[in-house]
Structure 1
């Protein structure tokens, strides 16, 4: 039996730098992992891309493919988008798909691919009225957004600790989804 495919997506928040470890944890949980990054996150992890590709056996993607190119990834069973920045959360909710990762998660809603998202934003950003609207929009679209007491809780600007990002929460949610679908 083949392993369920997890698209592990991240945007440019400090916890994305832990992706090699997150890939290993997802693989230990039974997933075949494909890594996608926003353009800024791809720049941050540029030196880690060869390792991520070696670990997963798939190319790391941050750009759309050409229309004539064959898709090199298997179809996703689950998408885990974490960390999701303020910018990425709002682009996704508004359907602004100028980046590969945002395009895939936006289309994933219509394709009914189960998706788990966990923001990584500070307490100043969450005061912006669009953030609450974006959370509501994505949750109403069926995305499991882990934010608040059962997910990510924002910190004051400049006080976040990437090592404290609760990776176990979105990974556990992705595992539950895969087990339910099996």
Structure 2
């Protein structure tokens, strides 16, 4: 439980969405979080934006989707995050994040979250050829060392897509639950 929760406000979840085939179903995670009394804001990678129905997501959350840096003096469109779920997370985002590369707003938020102690989970969605690359395994190990909670999705076959039926959106909330209750 956070100070926001103690003051009567709902905790705030950032959902970071990457450019992956299942991204269009992110509303499932938003609904699950809202049913658990979370307010939700979406941060998309620049490429991830093209996979989303922005109008539907903004109507569902009540917040604009963020994907670009604010200009100096511009108001923050989202409250501070109490937790972050990266879902779906691509090979590219996992590797850049673990390496500390902050070249998009989404990665900047993720890199800062570690230093701010914000509970974070990641649900990778990638194919088995990408998952076989040695950098990916090292990146997952690095994220685990940082305290990031990693989802259980098994990569799908290359060039076949799929796996959407096995992508457990709610797992993000299940993984975050113990970390959040420890903060009470």
The verdict on a shared fold, with TM-score over 0.5 as the criterion, is: yes
Contact preservation (8 Å) 2:16, 2:43: yes
Instruction: Report whether the alignment pairs 1:160 with 2:162.
Output: yes
> With structure 2 as the length reference, what TM-score do the two structures score?
0.90
Runs (4+) of structure 1 exceeding 4 A deviation are none
The residue that corresponds to 1:128 in the other structure is: 133
The residue that corresponds to 1:80 in the other structure is: 85
The residue that corresponds to 2:19 in the other structure is: 12
Q: How far off is 1:159 after superposition?
A: 4.6
When the two structures are aligned, how many residues end up with a matched partner? Answer: 176
Equivalent runs, 1:90-105 vs 2, <5 Å: 90-105=95-110
- Provide structure 2 residue ranges, at least 5 long, that are not aligned to the other structure: 1-7
Q: How far off is 1:17 after superposition?
A: 0.7
Contact preservation (8 Å) 2:26, 2:87: no
Contact preservation (8 Å) 1:15, 1:163: no
Q: How far off is 1:130 after superposition?
A: 0.5
Over aligned residues, Cα RMSD in angstroms? 1.4
Secondary structure of the residue that 1:14 maps to in structure 2?
Answer: coil
- Once structures 1 and 2 are overlaid, which stretch shifts more, 75-84 or 12-21? 12-21
